Amino acid sequence: MKLILVLGDQLTRSLSSLRQFQDGDVVLMAEVREEARYVKHHKKKIAFVFSSMRHFAEQLREEGLPVLYTRYDDADNQGSLFGEVQRAAVRLKPDELVVTTPGEYRLTSEMQTWEERLKVPVAVLDDDRFLSSPEEFADWAKGRKQLRMEYFYREMRKRYSILMEPDGPSGGRWNFDADNRKPPATGLIAPNPYSFPLDDITQEVMDLVEREFADHFGDIYPFNYAVTREGAVAALDMFIQERLPQFGDWQDAMVQDEPWMFHSHLALYLNCGMLNPMECIQKAEQAYRQGTAPLNAVEGFIRQILGWREFVRGLYWIQMPQYKEMNFFDATRDLPEFYWTAETRMNCLRQTVSETKRNAYAHHIQRLMVLGNFALLAGLDPDQVNEWYLLVYADAYEWVELPNVHGMVLFADGGLLASKPYAASGAYIKKMSNYCDGCSYKVSAKNGPKACPFNYLYWDFIDRNAEKLRGNPRMGFVFKTLDRMSGDKLQSVRDDSQGFLRALETNEKV
């Protein structure tokens, strides 16, 4: 008899471990303190994971699979996955424990000790829910001086024949990114966000989370996320119909009080296993073939899933565990209090932290060019920044969070993932949003007390790290401008930055 352990982000009926199920086997699922608290996840993320786990267990039971399910507040709960496996093993005396490889290095390496500790054979199966395996990615990466998503993505398009015509890529180009950077049109309003009704299971979990995780970040109400595969498929279909046609045009745009924009909000479902990546890709391609969504939108969306999502996972597995230790800029500053409270006079940060707190969601450009850009320019400690991103978003698991934060945002890996740091002054935020209209700072002012802090912090970052960045061929123009800057101007940049960063350290409201 096999004991099959299914984790909270493995809610997929066709999971490799569940494919091994035979009569007599037992499935084990457990809500445990260790997984819910190894970082203090957002309340909404815990409610989403627990409710989705409970619904998935119900689904398996309805199919006739015996499921042993440990609730968080069960009196005998051992508090860890190992503890729960051990408790079940003592009771059931299985011949073997079967589990699909976890998404995170932390748990995968811990599992290597289980067989010896349990005295039961442990089979850890490949997680084949991705479109490229870690081994295939390692083969692709072997011998390349630089790993660039674009080349990997082209291979994936050809391999799966996605958006391909007999003579090459659809529309004659691999990438329509240049068409996907429109600043927001005045009065741009996105469709209402999806809203799934609460059922008794979710309500019970929400009460539990309010009771047990009161000290965690984030709002639990309103809770509108789907918690079943059925709901997630409905969210996917709504996205394809209502948002995808404009996804490309407004992919990089940010609008005050519009947290959802034309994004899909599907990452949380994809990452816990409720949706599979190929069904999202195929439905998007179908919309293009049927003429209901333009190519720039469809290619842009597909690139995120077939390209970026697979690419960051591949990078994670070939680079861990040393990846996490890298700190190219030797950044050490503590995470400012406003990442938790949203109490800052900088409107762009106030907006994005508030939305993150309410929704456990922010879209890509908010994560990258507002929250991340600030962390990069202010030299925040990568460990603290990574921990923050890992706990605040409902879609966050280390395999996807770490490369995005450590590599794309902080350039802590020295350029393994990105060819240059995504650093920008206030002009970028001004161009791509209407946040500056409601700000206490002036985006047009470069120095002085009213100046937008991104403006002087940008040049201070370049100046501070000149030795490390000057050789970067993509930064020639930036250094030409820095070298032409007058001594007085550079001194103002340094003085304003030092004053601002000191204020951050002493917890003054900035």
Under rule CB under 6 A, residue 44 binds ligand FAD: no
Contacts of 61 (CB under 8 A, 6+ apart): 67
**Shortest Cβ 438–ligand SF4 spacing (Å):** 7
**Shortest Cβ 30–ligand DLZ spacing (Å):** 6
Contacts of 31 (CB under 8 A, 6+ apart): 8, 50, 53, 70, 71, 72, 77
Under rule CB under 6 A, residue 69 binds ligand DLZ: no
Toward ligand SF4, which CB reaches closer, 208 or 346?
346
Q: How far is CA 169 from the centre of its chain?
A: 28
**Shortest Cβ 405–ligand FAD spacing (Å):** 5
Six token digits for residue 158: 């050809």
Six token digits for residue 128: 């084949």
Under rule CB under 6 A, residue 262 binds ligand DLZ: no
Q: Residue 379, by phi and psi: left (phi above 0), alpha (psi -120 to 50) or beta?
A: left
Number of residues that bind ligand FAD (CB under 6 A): 28
Of 54, 55, 216, 367, the one binding ligand FAD (CB under 6 A) is 367
Alpha-carbon gap, residue 45 to 18, rounded angstroms: 24
Toward ligand DLZ, which CB reaches closer, 106 or 464?
106
Under rule CB under 6 A, residue 355 binds ligand FAD: no
Of 56, 140, 152, 308, the one binding ligand FAD (CB under 6 A) is 308
Under rule CB under 6 A, residue 47 binds ligand DLZ: no
Give the three-state DSSP class for 28.
Answer: strand
Six token digits for residue 63: 């199919």
Helix (H) or strand (E) holding 348: helix 347-359
Toward ligand FAD, which CB reaches closer, 152 or 308?
308
The item of ligand FAD, ligand DLZ, ligand SF4, none sharing an interface with residue 104, based on CB under 5 to 8 Å by kind, is ligand DLZ
What Cα–Cα distance (Å) separates residue 186 from each residue in 14, 191, 347, 421, 432? 45, 16, 18, 30, 11
Under rule CB under 6 A, residue 302 binds ligand SF4: no
Under rule CB under 6 A, residue 401 binds ligand DLZ: no
Alpha-carbon gap, residue 393 to 344, rounded angstroms: 20
Under rule CB under 6 A, residue 348 binds ligand FAD: no
The string of DSSP codes covering 285-323 is HHHHHTTSS-HHHHHHHHIIIIIIIHHHHHHHHHHTTGG
Under rule CB under 6 A, residue 412 binds ligand SF4: no
In the range 1-20, which residues lie near ligand DLZ by CB under 6 A? 7-9
Judged by the rule CB under 6 A, the positions of this chain that interact with ligand FAD are 263-267, 270-271, 301, 304-305, 308-309, 312, 363-364, 367-368, 372, 389, 393, 395-396, 400-401, 404-405, 408-409
